Copies of this chain bind each other. A is one copy, B any other.
């Protein structure tokens, strides 16, 4: 929430008919996403979205549009990102909005926009829906970072169009959406050039931008449209998406919020504000999956794995934005492991189908979103649960898991078991590029592979502990106390220390562009977002646009 303002819940659900800021158009296998931000359409009062600058509301629409292009438009092989305004591409995140936002809001906003930029790159690489960018006017800060997320940047060579990252010189903060990392790690701009460019208010235009690898090509303004069309067509021609297929409809997501209870079809969440805990129960499938691929397509958004991805995604976003004081998310599942497993088999059997591919990728992105959420993740594995395959990822993503060994007195159900499926061995990598199993067994890289022999077996608590899949396995005597104490102790720690600790422990092993953005660049940005030089009374972010000059504490830290 904004400092001092009343809490206003952010709803991440939207649909094209409600868009204020983006125009989506289609031309055969090419879609165009034109940014045309409505100045008075800010999510909150207090700022005008001038010069195609954006706030969270603009980005929520972008996120929705990207999702729909993937699911609803199998025929689209290339997407052109451009500006719908005459004289500007995009001025980046709105400064007044940032300025009136709390620290937490700024950080959460940057995280979501980062996730959306990553989704653009994933669509290009894995959905084979290739994004390119037509820079048709000045393109600064977050605007250029949006361009950087695409695979090919074409810039008008017209004297006024530039790319720029003016955050450091103008605002005393970093480009907040991966810009610095993408410069040196994705586009491999030479570091001294990246340094110079990132300190240049006015940016770089024309041929020098190409020589320095900041854009891929420049063309005269008059030829921009044609060149963009040609490049898009070339990319669309290389897709493996089926031109003649029919998309599915991402029907409105049903969600009921009643006090602390948030209910979806596949998830129930109880927010306990006193304890600072969200108790999240994921329900397994109600029955077997449709028998054929055609039937899966016909089921569409109601297909359990897709419904789960959408609902879990929405819940994570909701809790992150609207429940800042809920520091612990406790996951449970209930249902039939057999039914989860048979759904997982369907996801594997039809992996080559475009829609099933999209569903798998959506689940992957959603689990990644969970991994980078600054909340403590606990999983409780009890009788009646169905931690199999896709749902076992919730336990593997957790900072800590507790599995009841045996049953509580009076419970006549079978003791809890966990079950591996093929979906635990590849389709859901973390941001570090490893599966959660591989990240778990960095000490024995072969161990994750060995576990393939246990696929489809029910592992009770001793077996799961021996396999290294769960943290603790208390019996009925210790269960209630151990879980309670674990959660209470966690809730008593400093939220900030936990955030730094979790970010440091969750992603061992290799680093990727994504992991660098989330765990390195974001950490620096968060630090800078706290510094008086940016956000103090005389800080650059604070005085921007007021005519006052910023004043800096010159001590280097």
Contacts and interface: CB of A to CB of B under 8 A. Distances in A.
Given A196-B471, A324-B556, A516-B511, A443 B172 contact: no
Contacts of A555: 104, 324-325, 495
A229 B101 CA distance: 59
Given A276-B554, A400-B192, A497 B534 contact: yes
Interface string A447-467: 000000000000000000000
Contact of A104 (B171, B375, B509, B557): B557
Nearest to A191: B505
A537 to B, nearest CB: 14
A327 B556 contact: yes
Given A213-B443, A524-B500, A505 B556 contact: no
Nearest to A201: B489
Contacts of A443: 187-190, 213
Interface string A166-203: 01110111100000110111011111111110110000
Given A190-B443, A494-B540, A556-B374, A184 B505 contact: yes
Contacts of A192: 398-401, 440, 471
Given A180-B501, A184-B442, A192-B471, A493 B523 contact: no
Nearest to A557: B104
A260 interface: no
Contacts of A104: 555-557
A294 to B, nearest CB: 41
B174 A509 contact: no
Nearest to A103: B557
Interface stretch (A48-56, A280-288, A525-533): A525-533
Contacts of A552: 494-495
Interface string A310-334: 0000000000000011110000000
Chain A interface residue bracket vs B: 35 or more
A490 interface: yes
Nearest to A200: B489
Contacts of A398: 192
Given A190-B440, A190-B443, A504-B521, A169 B493 contact: yes
Contacts of A439: 191
B508 A185 contact: yes
A544 B50 CA distance: 48
Contacts of A490: 199
A495 B327 contact: no
A483 to B, nearest CB: 13
B441 A533 contact: no
Interface in A359-408: 374-375, 398-401
Given A192-B400, A527-B526, A493 B168 contact: yes
19 contacts: A104-B555, A174-B500, A184-B442, A190-B440, A190-B468, A192-B398, A192-B471, A199-B501, A324-B555, A324-B556, A325-B554, A325-B556, A327-B554, A496-B533, A499-B524, A500-B527, A520-B523, A523-B524, A523-B526
Given A108-B557, A499-B524, 12 more contacts: A168-B494, A169-B489, A171-B497, A190-B443, A190-B468, A192-B400, A194-B505, A495-B533, A495-B553, A495-B557, A504-B521, A519-B520
